Amino acid sequence: MIEVEQLAKSYGFAQALKGVTFTVQKGEVIGFLGPNGAGKSTTMKILTGYLLPTSGRASVAGHDVVADSVAARRCIGYLPETTPLYGEMRVDEYLRFCAEIRGIPADRQRVAIGRAVERCALQRVLGKNIVELSKGYKQRVGLAQAIVHEPPVLVLDEPTSGLDPNQIVEVRSLIEQLGKEHTVILSTHYLQEVEKSCTRVIIIDQGRIVADGTQAQITAAHGGASLRLRVRGPAEAVRAQLQQLLPPDAAIVAEPPVDGVSTWRLGLPPTGADVAGAAAALVVKNGWSLLELTTEQASLEDTFRQLTGRQPTGAKAQEAAHA
Amino acid sequence: MRETLVVFRRELRSYFLSPIAYVFGILMVSVLLYYVTEATLQNGARATAEPLFGTLPFMLVLFLPGLTMRLWAEERKLGTLELLMTFPVRVGQLVLGKFLACVAYLAIVLLLTVGLPLTLGAYGKLDWTPVLGSYLASLLFAGSFVAVGMFWSSTTRDQMVAMLLSLVSLFVLYQLGNPQNIEYASGWMPAWLVDVVNGLSPHKYFVSIARGVLDTRDLVYFACFCGFFLYANALALEARRTKG
């Protein structure tokens, strides 16, 4: 449905995209993750025809976004980050305008608008001026605009940013429903959003794709797992012994011992060696007692932080302290 | 064509959804009528609408930049430009729709002054040919100024900048066509240069049509003038796609 090949974009001297390649199949819901300025919006703006790429190519539903731009745009519903609305218009006027300019024939406009209104639950505000609406409603009007022509592809740039928690839940469930009928690309800062509604994740950082796959694939490939164990025994001796189980450069994180019980977290090497078994045997051999032994798979959040070296919005501060 | 019409309708409606249509319209008509009334009374009321159309060009220089400055700059600031430019519509269609809507709005404002010639006609013997010519000339003239103002608006997101640039350009164009300046310039400039400079200004053609003589060359001039600036406008918008 969407093919992007070696896409690059420079603004003057700043390179926003440095060769991005990915494809999206019909029916996928892609979560675009990345810190601010990573190139998410730029990619979306190129896909929707708002910007021209500096090099590389992209096509939507078989139409090249540069050579055959108008045809490509016809297949896309787009909600930009800024939620572009004409404040002085009423909701129904605005949606009619969008339906008309998209070329929906007059006899089908009523049905098309009615459908979009119903899906976005806008019935109550149809006659209101857009400027009077709450932010959540404005966002839904923006979404209704994007789906009024039933496009095969939906591009949503941070559809939930700036909304309150209730509104986020509403918009998110709406996106989830839309994902059943449309191919969706959405960008976001909220990792929970991706975990809930996306079938695939693309993590982008400094203009490059750093990970692409399902959440499980990404966390397995990039996040790795860690071993957490609590041991009653002399802390220094325990550390020395544990260190021998791991490659010399592997990190061991310790929490301060309480009542002679020390807590350790070992990053597991991707080789799949049975570190857990070895650690258990080691503790028993030394005559210490093993109070806890857990293998933890890295979360998407950990992986994101590891890949982009920065902190995603909404990450819990105390977790960051451990990293 | 259909797309242009959709943009045209939305634009024209939006004038009347905001105070700007009313403020601009009332201001323009009041100032015009004030000057006309004054001039007419001083001259001893001749049955002619000349003062109305003599004042109009300069009024447009003063007021029009305030109307056109927002045309694209505001769309860009609100982000609706991104919406328009990702619709399956060519930029030329957007430009044309917006332009025609602004001209249509000005036509409505011009119609509000029709009471003056009607009054004159009722009390004296008014020659309607130059009056009708003047209305047509005013509309074409206003259109050419709209094309200039709209072009400047497409080059910036700052409405103030767009207004100042339009004000200066319109003032220069106005002065280039001002008969007094032409007379003065003829004293020391070669005649061909005077002709060229004068020929650039919509003001010259306004004066020509306003006399009530419809010359195809004048119409062609207005079509070319507007076409040039509308094309530049579309190019300026397309250039945004590269610059971001």
Distance of CA B158 to the CA centre of its chain: 21
pLDDT tops 90 at residue B46: no
pLDDT tops 90 at residue B162: yes
Instruction: Considering only residues A317 and A179, tell me which one the structure prediction assigns the higher pLDDT.
Output: A179
H or E element at residue A60: strand A55-60
Q: How far is CA A125 from CA A128, A129, B20, B70, B139, in A?
A: 5, 8, 25, 28, 40
CA distance A31 to A154: 12
pLDDT tops 60 at residue A310: no
pLDDT band per the 50, 70, 90 thresholds, residue A250: low
Total-model pTM: 0.84
pLDDT tops 50 at residue A323: no
Residue B91 to chain A, least CA–CA distance (Å): 10
pLDDT at A160: 85
Residue A269 to chain B, least CA–CA distance (Å): 44
Q: Pick from A51, A76, A84: which is nearest to B78 by CB?
A: A84
- Show residues of chain B in contact with A78, CB under 8 Å: 83, 86
Q: What is the DSSP string of A262-306?
A: EEEEEEPPTT---HHHHHHHHHHHTT-EEEEEEEEEPPHHHHHHH
* Exposed/middle/buried for residue B141 (C-beta within 10 Å: 0-12, 13-18, 19+): buried
pLDDT at A51: 93
Residue A56 to chain B, least CA–CA distance (Å): 14
Task: Indicate which of B83, B89, B91 best probes the interface with A, i.e. most A CBs within 10 Å of its own CB.
Answer: B83
Residues 127-186 of A with CB under 8 A from B: 145
- Residue B64 and residue B173 in contact, taking contact as beta carbons nearer than 8 Å: no
CA atoms within 13 A on the CB side of A140: 26
Residue A78 contacts B where some CB pair is shorter than 8 Å:
yes
Residues of chain B in Cβ contact (below 8 Å) with chain A? 2-3, 6-7, 10, 13-14, 17-18, 78-83, 85-90, 241-244
Residue A8 to chain B, least CA–CA distance (Å): 12
Contacts of residue A36, defined as CB under 8 A and 6 or more positions apart, other chains included, come to: A189
CA distance B49 to B40: 9
Residue A49 contacts B where some CB pair is shorter than 8 Å:
yes
**Binary contact (B82, A103; C-beta < 8 A):** no
Q: How much of chain B exceeds pLDDT 70, in percent?
A: 95
**Token pair belonging to A2:** 């969407």
**Binary contact (B3, A11; C-beta < 8 A):** no
Contacts of residue A311, defined as CB under 8 A and 6 or more positions apart, other chains included, come to: A305, A320
- Show residues of chain B in contact with A9, CB under 8 Å: 244
Task: Indicate which of A9, A93, A101 best probes the interface with B, i.e. most B CBs within 10 Å of its own CB.
Answer: A101
- Show residues of chain B in contact with A86, CB under 8 Å: 10, 14, 78, 80
First to last CA, chain A: 38
CA distance A68 to A60: 10
Comparing CA positions, the residue from A53, A48, A109, A103 lying closest to residue A78 is A48
**pLDDT tens for each residue of B53-107:** 888 888 899 999 999 999 999 999 999 999 999 999 999 999 999 999 999 999 9
**Binary contact (A74, B241; C-beta < 8 A):** no
Residue A63 contacts B where some CB pair is shorter than 8 Å:
no
**Binary contact (B85, A145; C-beta < 8 A):** no
Q: Pick from A11, A87, A98: which is nearest to B244 by CB?
A: A11
- Show residues of chain A in contact with B241, CB under 8 Å: 49-52
Among A269-278, A279-288, B29-38, B132-141, which is the least confidently predicted range? A269-278
Q: How much of chain A exceeds pLDDT 70, in percent?
A: 92
- Residue B226 and residue B144 in contact, taking contact as beta carbons nearer than 8 Å: yes
Distance of CA A299 to the CA centre of its chain: 13
Residue B169 to chain A, least CA–CA distance (Å): 29
Contacts of residue A95, defined as CB under 8 A and 6 or more positions apart, other chains included, come to: A113, A116, A117, A141, A144, A145, A148
Among A5-14, A97-106, B153-162, which is the least confidently predicted range? A5-14
3-state secondary structure of A54: coil
**Token pair belonging to A166:** 């209730």
Residue A71 to chain B, least CA–CA distance (Å): 7
**Binary contact (B7, A101; C-beta < 8 A):** yes
Comparing CA positions, the residue from A77, A145, A148 lying closest to residue A110 is A148
Instruction: Considering only residues A167 and A31, tell me which one the structure prediction assigns the higher pLDDT.
Output: A31
pLDDT band per the 50, 70, 90 thresholds, residue A322: very low
B88 CB neighbour count, 10 Å cutoff: 18
> Helix B159-176 vs helix B128-154: angle between axes, to the nearest 10 degrees?
140
**Binary contact (B10, A97; C-beta < 8 A):** yes
Comparing CA positions, the residue from A70, A61, A18, A62 lying closest to residue A39 is A18
**Binary contact (B89, A89; C-beta < 8 A):** no
Rg (CA), chain B: 19
What single-letter DSSP state applies at residue A246? S
pLDDT tops 60 at residue A319: no
* Exposed/middle/buried for residue A116 (C-beta within 10 Å: 0-12, 13-18, 19+): buried
Instruction: Considering only residues A303 and A1, tell me which one the structure prediction assigns the higher pLDDT.
Output: A1
| Token pair 């012994």: residue | A241
3-state secondary structure of B20: helix
Mean pLDDT, rounded, of chain A: 85
- Residue A267 and residue A251 in contact, taking contact as beta carbons nearer than 8 Å: yes
**Binary contact (B86, A73; C-beta < 8 A):** yes
The complex's ipTM works out to: 0.88
Distance of CA A46 to the CA centre of its chain: 18
* Exposed/middle/buried for residue A124 (C-beta within 10 Å: 0-12, 13-18, 19+): exposed
Q: Pick from B82, B243, B244: which is nearest to A84 by CB?
A: B82
Comparing CA positions, the residue from B127, B144, B110 lying closest to residue B211 is B127
